[in-house]
Amino acid sequence: MNKQKLEKFANLELDLLSVLLSLSDDDVDNLINELENILQKYKEKAIETDVLQLLNKLSDEEKRKLIEKLLK
């Protein structure tokens, strides 16, 4: 089963490489920009998730103090 998965992955990789080699310079630039935008969104979401997890760890008193500081 692992051999089949590796072969399938290798074939997908070759297909992707074939497509990438057929792209124009403008298409490559657009693809890079789109991938950078996707990465940025994931980074922002990861930071948001980290902040929410940290906030959930705060006690009610700590949350109250934080809210007071943010409102000043």
What DSSP element (H or E) covers 37? helix 25-57
Instruction: Say how many CA atoms lie within 13 Å of 23 toward its Cβ.
Output: 14
Mean pLDDT by 10 residues, the chain (72 residues): 87 92 93 96 95 94 93 90
13-45 b/e with 16+ CB inside 10 Å = b?
Answer: eeeeeeeeeeeeeeeeeeeeeeeeeeeeeeeee
- The per-residue pLDDT for 1 is 65
Q: Which pLDDT belongs to residue 32?
A: 93
Global confidence as pTM? 0.57
As a whole number of angstroms, the distance between CA 44 and CA 22 comes to 32
pLDDT score for 66: 92
